[in-house]
Amino acid sequence: MTGVHLRNLGIRYGQVEVLKGIDLDIPASEFIVLLGPSGCGKSTLLNAIAGLQDVAEGQILIGGHDMTNVEPKNRGIAMVFQSYALYPRMSVRGNLSFGLKVAKIAKPEIEKRVANVAKMLQIEPLLDRKPAELSGGQRQRVAIGRAVVRDAGVFLFDEPLSNLDAQLRSDLRVEIKRLHQRLKSTMVYVTHDQIEAMTLADRIVVMKDRIIQQQGPPDEIYNRPANTFVARFVGSPAMNFLDGAIGGGHAIIDRQAIPIAAAISAPLSDSRPVIVGIRPEDMTIHTDDSGSGLAVEIDVVEPMGPEKLVWCKQGDIGLSVKAPSSISVMPGDRVRLRLAEEKLHIFDKETGKRI
Partner 1 sequence: MFVRSPSSSRLQATLTLVPVAFVVLSVYVGGVLWAAGISFTRSSMLPNYRFAGLTQYINLFANARWQVSLGNMVLFASIFIPVTLLIGYSMAAMINRGVRGENALRTIYLYPFAMSFIVTGLVWRWLLDPNFGIADVARKLGFENASFDWIVNADMAIFTIIIAAVWHSAGLVMVVLLAGLRGVDDDLWKAIRIEGIPAWKAHLYIIVPSIGTSIATALVLMSLTVVRLFDVVVAMTGGGPGIATDVPAKFIIDHMFERQQVGLASAAATTLLLLVLAVAVPLLILKNHRKGGAR
Q: Assess 81 for contact with partner 1 (CB under 8 A).
A: yes
Interface of this chain with partner 1, residues 315 to 344, rule: CB under 8 A: none
Interface of this chain with partner 1, residues 241 to 280, rule: CB under 8 A: none
Looking at beta carbons only, is 89 or 255 nearer to partner 1?
89
Q: How near is the Cβ of 343 to partner 1 at its closest, in Å? A: 42
**Could you say which of 15, 71, 181, 255 contacts partner 1 (CB under 8 A)?**
71
Identify the DSSP state of 24. Answer: E
Q: Assess 74 for contact with partner 1 (CB under 8 A).
A: yes
- What's the CA gap between 217 and 284, in Å, rounded? 27
Looking at beta carbons only, is 98 or 311 nearer to partner 1?
98
End-to-end CA distance of the chain: 38
Shortest CA distance to 232 belongs to which of 282, 162, 280, 301? 280
Q: Assess 4 for contact with partner 1 (CB under 8 A).
A: no
Site string for partner 1, 118-157 (x = CB under 8 A): --------------x-------------x---x-------
Q: How near is the Cβ of 192 to partner 1 at its closest, in Å? A: 17
Q: Which residues contact 227 (CB under 8 A, 6 or more apart)?
A: 213, 214, 347, 351, 352, 353, 354
Contact 189, 201 (CB under 8 A): yes
- What's the CA gap between 234 and 229, in Å, rounded? 9
Looking at beta carbons only, is 73 or 184 nearer to partner 1?
73
Residue 99: what residue type? G
Q: How near is the Cβ of 82 to partner 1 at its closest, in Å? A: 7
Q: Assess 79 for contact with partner 1 (CB under 8 A).
A: yes
Determine the 3-state secondary structure of 61 from DSSP: strand
Contact 46, 188 (CB under 8 A): yes
**Could you say which of 16, 89, 108, 306 contacts partner 1 (CB under 8 A)?**
89
- What's the CA gap between 258 and 71, in Å, rounded? 58
Looking at beta carbons only, is 43 or 265 nearer to partner 1?
43
Sheet arrangement for strand 154-158: 77-80, 154-158, 186-191, 31-35, 203-208, 211-216
Q: Assess 50 for contact with partner 1 (CB under 8 A).
A: yes
- What's the CA gap between 137 and 172, in Å, rounded? 8
Give me the residues that bind partner 1 (CB under 8 A), please. 47, 50-52, 71-74, 77-79, 81-85, 87-90, 98-99, 102-103, 132, 146, 150, 158
